[in-house]
Amino acid sequence: MKLSHLSETLIGSEIVKLGGEIREKIRQGESIYNFTVGDFDPSIFPIPKELEDAIVDAYRKHFTNYPAAEGNLDLREAILSFTKDTEGLDYGSGEILVASGGRPLIYAVFRAICDKGDKIIYPVPSWNNNHYTHFVGGDHIVIEAKAENNFMPTADDIRPHIKESVLLSLCSPQNPTGTTFKKNDLEAICDMVLEENKRRGENQKKLYIMYDQMYWHLTYGDIQHYNPVSLRPAMRQYTIFIDAISKVFAATGVRVGWGMGPASVIGKMKAILTHLGAWAPMAEQKAVAHYLHNRDGIKRFLTHFRKEIEERLHRIYDGFMQLKSEGLSVDAMAPEAAIYLTIKIDLAGKKTNGGKIIENQSDVTAYILNEANLAVVPFYAFGADRSSPWYRLSVGTCKKEDINEMIGKLREALRKLQ
């Protein structure tokens, strides 16, 4: 039966495919080191107790009706106060839109700005930009970010494609790499966007940046988070921020996110989402509004949360560095932010004990899953070239006691190869 062009041309998800294979192995009794999901195991990383109590209390007070389409005023004011105190961004109540997590807001940005055939620039590897561009019928302008730049796009990468483009989708700290923009690199991108918009005529569409900073509270060591508006105040009229409680409070299922930007764009996004009904639940909005004023409680939670995430990332990174020092074909990037570690498993062309050649990166992914019980997501699932040997490893469900065992199993599997 013929359906819409959109539904007939949707691209299948490599992550969903890999997830199905993992579930089947677990169903058959195998023990899998599952580092694929960008989520948290609540038994390891529960949401803040004060937030949980506030949610329960809000339901008991019967906050179960429709919220305001743009988000309840008390929540928007709490977010704006929190954002001003923590990041120095000063926005008004008409410049913020609340929704059920980041996804509807990202969709609304694409819908509000882009028409069919418009050029949309995004780097790879990156999360879901290809799908959102497909949704709006945009022209995919794909920037292949390089390992030497920690897989973050540079102004030089973007500049050849900037004319006539209407949206530049950026994310820092980035999913899937866990890497971040350096100050001078982001400044160069901002200066380029400002120069391009100055060049454009009054009746010509401007170039906007969608800046997804979902993980910005989760940076480690000396790493600092930067955003376009703080670096270049003139970028305020061209930047739409995407943020949420999903990652910072391990609250992926609580579904409260927000976008901030020019009132003209935020207003159109609101109109789009009003027809979708993608608002955050009333009780969760009331609870988050209450919790965001608890600055001391948030500080305590984040101090512990960051420590636990960082320990896991560094221990796995150290394990990969040990394997590399033993001459095995792996590598990793030092942890910077988020819940992800960028790892390299470069086995294409090697032979198994049975003489079978591992021909491509799909074979590599299958080999480490079958032989080491290690499940990680290849960068080609995030739009990178299918020959890329790099992977995303997520620690949101990682038990510390499994790390040494996982490294040992991987060592055994790698040593079997010729």
Q: Please give the span between the terminal C-alpha atoms of the chain, in angstroms, as a whole number.
A: 49
Q: Cα(88)–Cα(67) distance, rounded to whole angstroms?
A: 28
Q: Cα(269)–Cα(330) distance, rounded to whole angstroms?
A: 44
Q: Are 59 and 171 in the same domain?
A: yes
Q: Cα(256)–Cα(287) distance, rounded to whole angstroms?
A: 10
Domain end marker among 294, 326, 341: 294
Check residue 17 and give its pLDDT. 76
Give the up-direction half-sphere exposure of residue 112: CA atoms within 13 A in the CB hemisphere.
Answer: 27
Q: Are 247 and 363 in the same domain?
A: no
Q: Are 28 and 62 in the same domain?
A: no
State how far the alpha carbon of 200 is from the alpha carbons of 210, 261, 345, in Å.
Answer: 19, 20, 45
Please name every residue paired with 391 in a beta bridge, in sequence order, or none if there are none: 343, 378
Question: What stretches in the chain show pLDDT beneath 70?
Answer: 1
Domain end marker among 245, 264, 294: 294
Phi first, then psi: what are they for 219, rounded to 5°?
A: -120, 155
State how far the alpha carbon of 307 is from the alpha carbons of 113, 122, 313, in Å.
Answer: 39, 31, 10
Q: Cα(336)–Cα(219) distance, rounded to whole angstroms?
A: 6
Residue 244 structural domain: 49-294
Residue 199 DSSP label: H
Q: Are 280 and 367 in the same domain?
A: no
Contact 32, 409 (CB under 8 A): no
Question: Tens digit of pLDDT for each residue in 80-127?
Answer: 999 999 999 999 999 999 999 999 999 999 999 999 999 999 999 999
Q: Are 54 and 179 in the same domain?
A: yes
Check residue 270 and give its pLDDT. 97
Q: Are 348 and 395 in the same domain?
A: yes
Domain end marker among 251, 271, 294: 294
Check residue 13 and give its pLDDT. 72
Q: Are 143 and 38 in the same domain?
A: no
Q: Are 357 and 316 in the same domain?
A: yes
Q: Are 127 and 226 in the same domain?
A: yes
Q: Are 170 and 217 in the same domain?
A: yes
Q: Give Cα 298 to chain centroid, integer Å.
A: 21
Per-residue burial over 362-398, b if 16 or more Cβ lie within 10 Å, else e, is: ebbbebbbebbbbbbbbbbbbbbeeebbbbbbbbbbb
Give the CATH number of the domain where residue 276 resides.
3.40.640.10
Q: Are 89 and 231 in the same domain?
A: yes
Total domains, the chain? 2
Check residue 262 and give its pLDDT. 98
Per the rule left: phi > 0, alpha: psi between -120 and 50, beta: everything else, 383 is: left
From 123, 210, 131, 132, select the one nearest 166 (Cα to Cα).
210
Give the CATH number of the domain where residue 336 resides.
3.90.1150.10
Strands laid side by side in the 330-332 sheet: 330-332, 340-345, 390-394, 377-378
Check residue 202 and give its pLDDT. 86
Please name every residue paired with 120 in a beta bridge, in sequence order, or none if there are none: 140, 167
Q: Are 238 and 360 in the same domain?
A: no
Check residue 15 and give its pLDDT. 75
Contact 76, 280 (CB under 8 A): no
Q: Cα(130)–Cα(138) distance, rounded to whole angstroms?
A: 9
Contact 185, 152 (CB under 8 A): yes
